[in-house]
Amino acid sequence: MKDYLFLFRGGLDFTTASPEQMQQVLMNWKTWTEELSQKGIYGGGERLTRNDAAVIKGNAKRVSSGPYSGNEDIIGGYINIKADSLQQAIEISKGCPIFNFDGNVEIREVAKM
């Protein structure tokens, strides 16, 4: 099996969501990751904050506060999963709760060094 990284963008805006919405979304994520764990393919992950973010670019090492033009650009979290192929990783990602709020998942194979 190969390792894949799921990068999550968009989805529910936690800065404007009600406590009830946040609780429901967090429970949906917990249920999904527990299902992946039970299948033995979940390798961990975390939600990311919007605090203290920076991007360092180019030879000049220019620092900016982030590459974000909107909520859909912000990487809100990540998980690692195991799958036999990119196609299988795509199918696994389709169960992700982020799609309930029009978010997206970028899937990248992890290169072994």
Contacts of 39 (CB under 8 A, 6+ apart): none
Pairwise CA distance, residues 94 & 109, whole Å: 17
The Cα 35–Cα 52 span in angstroms is 32
Residue 26 to residues 16, 18, 61, 89, 110, Cα–Cα distance (Å):
15, 12, 36, 22, 26
End-to-end CA distance of the chain: 16
DSSP state of 52: S
pLDDT in tens, 71-106: 557 788 999 999 999 999 999 999 999 999 899 999
Calculate what percentage of the chain has a pLDDT beyond 70.
93
**Taking the domain 2-109, which CATH number applies?**
3.30.70.1060
Q: What pLDDT, on the 0 to 100 scale, is given for residue 68?
A: 58
